[in-house]
Amino acid sequence: MSLDDIDRRILTALQRKGRMSNSDLSEQVHLSPSACHRRVQSLESEGYIQGYVALLNARKMGVPTTVFVEITLQGQADEVLDAFEKAVARIPAVLECHLMAGSADYLLKVVAENTEDFARIHRQFLARLPGVGQMQSSFALRTVCNTTALPV
């Protein structure tokens, strides 16, 4: 399936407001409600739309501190990578984990209540991850832009 202009308008609208009704969406993209619904179902079944979520306010949820952690492993064997990835995926405070090209092997996005809470997360979870050779943490001072919307 290749995306046409209507599909792109649907995806753009849903990225801005995923809870809008089919009726509102169909008006916004200039389609009948039934045609719009079929398009959305097709975008879902083809995997363009992976799911729908509620985006929570980190400050109100008590985790306003964002820390980016660069991790270098002791080795690059598949077993080491697999063990690390399985373990890091079980840490609730880790929002993202990316295998990287460059000086670090992984880049993590971690949320915490404050620096003391991050120290606890570091001691109890990050320092115990399998295969870790080196870790460097950088605290975000301010979020300049933050979006989940992909370019359509």
Looking at the DSSP bridge assignments, the partners of residue 135 are 71
Q: Which residue has the tokens 């092997």?
A: 105
| Cα(113)–Cα(146) distance, integer angstroms | 19
pLDDT number for residue 1 = 81
Q: Which CATH architecture has domain 5-45?
A: Orthogonal Bundle (1.10)
pLDDT number for residue 55 = 94
pLDDT along the chain (152 residues), means of 10: 95 96 97 98 98 95 98 95 98 98 97 98 98 98 95 96
Q: Which CATH number is associated with domain 65-139?
A: 3.30.70.920
pLDDT number for residue 59 = 96
| Cα(22)–Cα(149) distance, integer angstroms | 20
Same fold, 5-45 and 65-139: no
Domain chopping of the chain, boundaries: 5-45, 65-139
Q: What is the pTM of this model?
A: 0.90
CA 55 to mean position of chain CA atoms: 11
| Cα(20)–Cα(112) distance, integer angstroms | 31
Count of CB atoms situated within 10 Å of the CB of 108: 22
Six token digits for residue 94 = 């880790």
| Cα(149)–Cα(87) distance, integer angstroms | 28
